[in-house]
Amino acid sequence: MLIDTYGRVATDLRVSLTDRCNLRCTYCMPEEGLQWLAKPDLLTDDEIVRLIRIAVTDLGITEVRFTGGEPLLRPGLVGIVERCAALEPRPRMSITTNGIGLKRTAAALKAAGLDRVNVSLDTLRPEVFKTLTRRDRHKDVIEGMAAAREAGLTPVKVNTVLMPGLNGDEAPDLLAWAVEHDYELRFIEQMPLDAQHGWKRDGMITAGDILTSLRTRFTLTPEGDDERGSAPAERWVVDGGPHTVGVIASVTRPFCGSCDRTRLTADGQVRTCLFAREESDLRAALRSDAGDEEIARLWKLAMWGKKAGSGLDDPSFLQPDRPMSAIGG
């Protein structure tokens, strides 16, 4: 198993399939994009499947989330999902996507064995979407979410980041819309993972701000820690149920003590935390013909050194050198 010195056990693997994205969200990357990883640096489909197999069969991973960049840009995605669905024991599999390609791929992903999707959508207003993402693709995301629901990739979870002066007033409208369409809404505090390193704590919309806004229209009842477990989202029942809304408050209400995640970048580096500044190289071991036992040993060693927390409250905190698109969400 992947255990650290604080007794936490990682059972949830986040796998970045590419650092590329077809949006340019202002809180993630500059308008001109980034210097993408060279193709030889990326893990191949076979290498990804092998690492997931080792994680599932030898290291106790039970959940796999495919991320990016934008994972739907990975040409071999459907095949990767299909091969991982054949593993014993079979992991639960999901994907975090911007939704643009879901209308085209949802049915194939479901047939391959994907269980559900998380879709990033920050606004119901097409003009605000264009400002936030620098692309006019709002309609494609809405249609992609509907296609995922129709394909059975449920529950469809919606990830929303609120930004002052842009979509900061939309929380109640977003929740009403999510309830109407049977989506599970999760607000995420803006995190210091932008490529420009322009994030400022005093400029973010906090979990407290979000909940205050939602309560102007809805009655929210805490679901409780027993239901939450190791999930990053703190959840509330909306107007007595059955729908819930969640807030992932990585900055103001950190949940590091119950974290059960390990992360794999698109170029084969193990990350113990989104905010880590250190990585452990598995790609080199793969390409030097290391056996499964050696790769598992290196992965265990990396996770053993996981820090107690993200360090966001430490005055000496520094953002990771690599942006979110490179390390996976």
Buried b (16+ CB within 10 A) or exposed e, 179-212: beeebbbbbbbbbbbbbeeeeeeeebbbbebbbe
Per the annotation, binding residues for [4Fe-4S] cluster are 21, 25, 28, 256, 259, 273
Read off the tokens for 63.
């959940």
User: Binding site for GTP: what residues are annotated?
Assistant: 14, 65, 96, 157, 261-263
CB 141 within 8 A of CB 126: no
Per the document, the length of the chain is: 329
**Closest by CA position to 267, among listed 44, 80, 62, 77:** 44
Annotated binding site: 14, 21, 25, 27-28, 65, 69, 96, 120, 157, 191, 256, 259, 261-263, 273
| Rg of the chain (C-alpha set) | 19
Strands 261-264 and 12-16: parallel
**Residue keyed to tokens 């006019």:** 136
Annotated binding site for S-adenosyl-L-methionine: 27, 69, 120, 191
Rounded distance between C-alpha atoms, residue 164 and residue 174, angstroms: 16
The DSSP output letter for 90 is P
Joined tokens for residue 186: 């999760």
- The Cα 108–Cα 110 span in angstroms is 5
